[in-house]
Amino acid sequence: MHDSISAMAAAQPFYLEGLNDPQREAVQTLDGPVLVLAGAGTGKTRVLTTRLAHLLHTSRAYPSQILAVTFTNKATQEMKERVSGLMGGQPVEGWWLGTFHSLAARMLRRHADLVGLSSNFTILDPDDQVRLLKQIMEVNGVDHKKWAPKAMISFIDRWKDRGLNPPQVSGDEAGDIAGGKLPLLYEVYQRRLREINACDFGDLLLHMITILKDPANKHVLDEYHNRFRYIMVDEYQDTNVAQYLWLRLLAQGHNNICCVGDDDQSIYGWRGAEVGNILKFEKDFPGATIIRLEQNYRSTNNILKAAHGVISRNDGRLGKELWSEAGEGDKIQVRGLWDGEAEARWVAEEIEQLQRKGQSLNGVAVLVRAGFQTREFEERFIKLGLPYKVIGGPRFYERMEIRDALAYLRVIVQPADDLALERILNKPKRGLGDTTVQTLYAYGRSHGINLYDSIMDLTQTDELRPKVKTTLMKLLDDFGRWRSLVETMDHAELAAQVLDESGYMQMWKEDKAPEAPGRLENLKELISGMQEYESLPEFLEHVALVLENQDQSGGEFATIMTLHGAKGLEFDCVFLPGWEEGLFPSQRSMDENGLKGLEEERRLAYVGITRAKRRAYISFAANRRMYGSWVNAIPSRFIDELPKEQTEVQSDLGLAGSGRSSHWDSSGFAPKAQKRQVASQTHDRKVMSESGTVFQRGDRVFHDKFGYGKIINIDGHKLDIAFEKSGQKRVMDSFVEKLD
């Protein structure tokens, strides 16, 4: 008996060694549809690559008979290298491995004629898309100043993500956008793309879906059914509708499709990902084998149990519970603090303590829900000389919108700052082209003066066109007026006024791009941060020193990044600040998507906690200065959902000495009845928006997305509005227009 077991073990391929039972099952279950629910840190990549190697090693398929789909080029390259390593270092040639877009493009090159293209079609980048649509808008009488082409492209991209061609888009889909002409613009846009033998990224999948669904092209679908004996898909929870439809069509042949993903980590709904794709896998593929990978190789059990306590509140999940052999580990540290500044100070002190205990900074991360949160942590780290890096985006003061705002302020303090003035001369757009700027600079060089003085001189002559002269004269008048207020007006209030009167804030409010709301939040955070300094010159000097002191060469760095950007990463110690209602979960996400939005926010909390290998710290503030004013905050509902057995709660709130601290019990949590009371106290009869508009109950308003409605309640700057066509929604006052 012993000899037979030894013989069986010896007969097993070496690459199966070290796999746990569910992992081995996922590798060896080759026939029929398979869904591998791979929890965080459960060895998903190893299972994927080993499964690919197993298919090849057992001669179940040639490389060219396997379709393996990833989400990033990096994942594609990693999979190639790993499989090659498992196959003895031999390069694996001829297989169909790549991202959705690269594989769809490869197919479309072969069948382009079936959708009116030639095989050498061009793939437009986002800038080309915007320029093309802008031309189409002009021809069709749509004002591109009122309806930003970039925003219109975003709507069209979303339709393509849902697999919708122009005939499938109804007027209801677009509402009043572009005066109801957006479906027409989409139709003309697609026709124009064919005329110039081009497509955008969304077309790569959309055209292939069109080809594969058409009965007249049955031979094409049959060809791929015969070709692909096995289909494998990574990160299935992040697929959008178009990707799902493409996969479904291709899988109808042999039905040997293996999808790997985690419904608890679907956090990209804002860019089209549809968690329902993974939730309905068994319905789409009857008789599917479901394999759960639940042994976690990253975190301790206290971290995993805490994360499970939160995610288990979601209804939209298939269910699994992670466990680890790494022991129970430290409990989650939950800390209540008085305000955002105290929170940043506490995080920095904890990191320094970890350093003293031998923890490398490279294993420490601060994961925030919103980009604007990074400022206070960056400021604190810089003061302490704590090296850090921002991943997934520039540091706070290096962000484009912050540099623009700073440029306005620099010109107010120092008119001779040519670089700052040139940066914002045409931001927002004022009709000043490169020719105007060149004329101004040429004049300045010939007369030995700066750009500001050149403008002053040339607006008094006939060198410039009358319209350009009028625009520049108004800009000079604005800067003169703002400069006269420096000595008498609070500098933070002045900055808010400058950004408002210049039209810069309005530019971002009208921008429908996904990143625009974040840019607005960053600008408001900039204004909040200015209040910590005595004057505008002192603040600008501080920023200059901060930007100068950012050498990132060599050494160790703590990481600051958003929760979205942290997916797939891991750190020894993770700090999760700002767990307050409205901030996390995001009020905007809940307002726009209801329960679906809340569940995605909860998945984001799960992702954040499970990034930690050894220690996780969660913090919240009783008060937070947001957008220039203090907000009375309450802890996130996600904190209530953390199991008490896995958490240790500490709070500074009882020591604050303010009447506001009476809302909190000794643990730092507000009892639920008191939480409701705190919230209700903020409901006002009136509110003044940043632009000076006073809103009150009963006012009729207009919202770009939801249309006409009436205010029924006011909660700070949040308005509860009964919209005529969209029902009741909660929106920020800055997103609505009051009607007379």
Instruction: Give the pLDDT of residue 2.
Output: 42
CATH number at residue 564: 3.40.50.300
Q: Which domain holds residue 462?
A: 401-534
Together in a domain, 143 and 103: no
Active-site residue, from 161, 200, 203, 235? 235
Active-site residue, from 234, 339, 652, 733? 234
Q: What is the pLDDT of residues 277-301, one digit of tens each?
A: 999 999 999 999 999 999 999 999 9
Give the residue from 651, 645, 594 showing the smallest Cα distance to 618: 651
Active-site residue, from 29, 45, 531, 682? 45
Together in a domain, 320 and 265: no
Cα 491 to Cα 296, 412, 469, 497, 533, distances in angstroms = 52, 11, 29, 10, 9
pLDDT band at 677 (very low <50, low <70, confident <90, very high): very low
For the residues 507-524, what does the mean pLDDT come to? Answer: 86
Together in a domain, 419 and 529: yes
Together in a domain, 367 and 407: no
Together in a domain, 222 and 140: no
The domain tally of the chain equals: 5
The terminus-to-terminus CA distance of the chain in angstroms comes to 90
Whether pLDDT at 413 is above 80: yes
Q: What is the pLDDT of residues 592-625, one digit of tens each?
A: 889 999 999 999 999 999 999 999 999 999 988 7
Least confident of 63-67, 178-182, 288-292, 589-593: 178-182
Active site residue 3: no
Instruction: Give the pLDDT of residue 416.
Output: 87
Instruction: Give the pLDDT of residue 613.
Output: 97
Whether pLDDT at 381 is above 80: yes
Domain-located, residue 540: no
CATH number at residue 705: 2.30.30
Together in a domain, 287 and 223: yes
Active-site residue, from 76, 243, 265, 436? 265
Report which of residues 631 and 722 the model is more confident about. 722
Neighbouring residues of 38: CB distance < 8 A, sequence distance ≥ 6: 44, 47, 260, 261, 262, 293
pLDDT band at 395 (very low <50, low <70, confident <90, very high): confident
Active site residue 684: no
Residue spans of alpha helices (H) in 561-671:
563-566, 587-609, 637-640
In DSSP terms, 713 is beta-bridged to: 720
CA dist., res. 95 & res. 320, Å (int): 33
Give the residue from 663, 88, 116, 600 showing the smallest Cα distance to 317: 600
Together in a domain, 240 and 379: no
pLDDT band at 551 (very low <50, low <70, confident <90, very high): low
Instruction: Give the pLDDT of residue 298.
Output: 95
Q: Are 238 and 14 a contacting pair, CB within 8 Å?
A: no
Instruction: Give the pLDDT of residue 8.
Output: 39
CATH number at residue 509: 1.10.486.10
Report which of residues 99 and 705 the model is more confident about. 99
Domain-located, residue 113: no
Active-site residue, from 320, 611, 614, 637? 611
Together in a domain, 234 and 96: yes
Active site residue 234: yes
């080809």: which residue's tokens? 211
Active site residue 265: yes
**Angle formed by the axes of helices 201-213 and 218-227, nearest 10°:** 100
Together in a domain, 673 and 711: no
Active site residue 235: yes
Together in a domain, 632 and 675: yes
pLDDT band at 464 (very low <50, low <70, confident <90, very high): confident
Active site residue 44: yes
CA dist., res. 154 & res. 174, Å (int): 12
Reported as half-sphere exposure (CB side, CA atoms, 13 A), residue 715 has a value of 17
Active-site residue, from 24, 44, 160, 162? 44
- Cβ burial of 297 (10 Å; 0-12, 13-18, 19+) is middle
Neighbouring residues of 551: CB distance < 8 A, sequence distance ≥ 6: none
Whether pLDDT at 663 is above 70: no
Together in a domain, 525 and 593: no
Whether pLDDT at 322 is above 70: yes
